[in-house]
Amino acid sequence: MAMKIRLARGGSKKRPHYSIVASDSRMPRDGRFLEKLGTYNPLLPKDSEDRIKMDVERVQHWLDRGAQPTDRIARFLEAAGVRTKTERSNPKKGEPGAKAKERAEERAAKAAAPAEEETASE
């Protein structure tokens, strides 16, 4: 059975509240899970103690049994010191998209055209 440690959403519309759960990866996001391991409240300030609450011993138990954490849970575990920090490399993240590049080229061409006219008239 492929196990995941992931977030299950709760709360009302525009007021999210998540449970950290261990579940079978084939189950839906908010569906059946085996054990609730903690909570995550993104509405609280980042320095608040109540923002992320985890039972670290139980999380470690599931990790030892082969459960894979999702990206967000892996970051929580790195912050808690349970996992070692992994290197994330996304070189295209800061790069603008194709349309933005085209707009920048058009702006550069428009800015260069008046400068050429001024030098030609002198």
* pLDDT mean over 10-15: 93
- Amino acid in the structure at residue 36: K
Distances in Å between the Cα of 121 and the Cα atoms of 108, 112, 117 are 21, 15, 6
- Amino acid in the structure at residue 51: R
Would the pLDDT of 115 be above 70?
no
Please state, in angstroms and rounded to a whole number, the distance separating the CA atoms of residues 29 and 34. 13
* pLDDT mean over 89-113: 87
- Amino acid in the structure at residue 27: M
* pLDDT mean over 65-74: 91
* pLDDT mean over 64-85: 89
Would the pLDDT of 118 be above 70?
no
* pLDDT mean over 35-48: 93
Topology of the domain covering 3-80: S16 Ribosomal Protein; Chain: A; (3.30.1320)
Distances in Å between the Cα of 6 and the Cα atoms of 2, 51, 57, 92 are 13, 16, 16, 26
pLDDT of residue 116: 65
Instruction: Determine contact, residues 77/55, Cβ cutoff 8 Å.
Output: no
Would the pLDDT of 43 be above 90?
yes
